[in-house]
Amino acid sequence: MKKKYFLNANILDPHNSLDEFGGLIINELGKIEAVGKKVNKNNIPSREKYIDLKEKHIFPGLVDMRVFVGEPGYEYKENFRTLSNAALSGGVTSVVTMPNTNPIIDNVSIVDFLKRRGRDKSKINIFPTASLTKNLEGTNMTEFGLLQKKGIIGFTDGLKTIQNTRLMSRIMNSAQDLDSLIIQHAEDYELSKDGMVNDGIISTKLGLQGIPDVAEKIIIERDLALLEEYRCRYHISQISSAKSVLTIKEKKQSLKFSCGVSINNLSLNENDIGDFRTFLKLSPPLRTEEDRLALVDGLNEKAINVIVSDHKPEDEEQKRLTFAGAATGSSGIETLLSLSLELFHNGSIKLNTIIEALTSNPAKILKINKGNLNIGNDADFCIVDINKPWIVKKENLLSKSKNTSIENKKLQGKVTNTFVNGEELYKI
């Protein structure tokens, strides 16, 4: 590989508190050789060709902590190859995959298969999670220790929540012993039973069963009460309501844990569901505008650490149904960064906070050396024109499934190039 020189870029790397105008050099091994203002036209060899980025931005490659891939079992929704292409076009170079596949990622033998497929078919870094409980049944723990040794990054039941409090306490104990990361999707099943949308004016108007916000809060409060007793690495997958933000703010003063939010809940509210748009049937559901603003505030106040795409590809057959019959989730890895930038452009959140929540914070929680522009590290990064306007069109999406929650939305800011290990794998 030839050395590559990028000049005249706005470089933002929250991990290294780097926010300056300068350049980036990739060495022959695809590692970062130098970065920052000291890299300029005057101190690179004059015979070398360089790429003038004309004030575009360089961000570390995004780390997306909540991604559903269809392999194994649902390849018709998304496979590693299509996921990679979709991710790269959105500047995402590392993903944490959910274990809700068929078969479920709950034992060592399936992890080998997953790692092999991920390595052979994927161009991005795949960090698989395994399920917390066997067969996602919420009754028996999986082998955290053995799974971790095979390369499992964390444990979660993905779409499901551990309802049994005693089991949760034992999970936390084991996680403490083994230094495992526990990721919880917070939802009390009795309160959310048959629910499809936020419990409020929209559920009343559309005649759909509501999910009260307290269904989320009650699990968070329970888990945090347990965490006081059983200290482990605990992460709340994604929250949706003002009440949850408040609880988390309070508890963070005395407890160590982390929390994520889906870009959908951060950018949209329940009114966007309109006339039964099943692509906006999400879990957790979109809630009120007040809830959305509280989530934005939570990110600004560091109560929320991570923004995820909650990328859940579903084919048309799962969505061309009545609202009650349709699957939850939306495809969003390609639009994660651009939609996040909307919050910067409209003055809600600082650019540094957004990029931190998309790069260094998830890497820190996962304990991986990604999401940064460290010298000597793999050159995983994206080049972004943060002002470029574009419109989300279903037919232009690279994901195998087209269930975007923001069809026809006008966005500002687009990834123009994405590099993994110093190799340009996406170019607009």
Long-range CB pairs of 32-41, under 8 A, 24+ apart, other chains included:
32/373, 32/374, 32/375, 32/376, 32/377, 32/378, 32/379, 33/3, 33/375, 34/375, 35/11, 35/373, 35/375, 36/11, 39/5, 39/7, 40/7, 41/7
Helices (H), 72-185: 80-89, 108-121, 144-149, 165-178
In the complex, minimum distance from the CB of residue 190 to other proteins, in angstroms, rounded to a whole number: 10
Interface residue list for other proteins (CB under 8 A): 199-201, 203-208, 210, 275-276, 317, 320-325
Residue whose token pair is 């809600």: 348
3-state secondary structure of 274: coil
Complex with other proteins: residue 76 or 113, whichever CB lies closer: 76
Q: Please say which residue, 29 or 201, places its beta carbon nearer to other proteins.
A: 201
Distance CA 351, CA 355 (A): 6
Is the Cβ–Cβ distance between 304 and 238 less than 8 Å? no
Sign, CA torsion 195/198/202/204 = positive
Dist. CA 185–CA 200, nearest whole Å? 22
Q: How far is the CB of 210 from other proteins (least distance, A)?
A: 6
Nearer to other proteins, 188 or 342 (CB): 188
d(CA 424, CA 91): 11
* Distance between CA atoms of residues 78 and 313, nearest Å: 6
Considering beta carbons, is residue 217 or 370 the nearer one to other proteins? 217
Give the C-alpha separation, 323 to 84, whole Å: 30
- Distance separating alpha carbons of residues 140 and 125, to the nearest angstrom: 30
Q: Smallest gap, in angstroms, from Cβ of residue 188 to other proteins?
A: 15
Q: How far is the CB of 218 from other proteins (least distance, A)?
A: 17
- How many CB atoms within 10 Å of residue 167? 16
Q: How far apart (Å, rounded) are the C-alpha atoms in residues 373 and 34? A: 9
Has 310 been annotated as catalytic? yes
Comparing CB distances to other proteins, the nearer of 225 and 324 is: 324
Give 250 or 317: the residue with its C-beta nearer to other proteins.
317
296: CB partners within 8 A, 6+ apart = 266, 343, 348, 349
Residue 91 C-beta: closest distance to other proteins, Å: 35
Type of residue found at 298: G
Quote the least distance from Cβ 206 to other proteins, whole Å.
6
| Active-site choice (13, 310, 378, 385) | 310
- CB nearer other proteins, residue 120 or residue 190: 190
CB of 407 to other proteins, least distance (A): 15
Q: Which of 357, 339, 196, 217 is nearest to 281 (CA)?
A: 196
Cβ contact 133:167 at 8 Å: yes
- First-residue to last-residue Cα distance in the chain: 22
| Least spacing, CB of residue 79 vs other proteins, in Å | 25
Active-site annotation, residues? 310
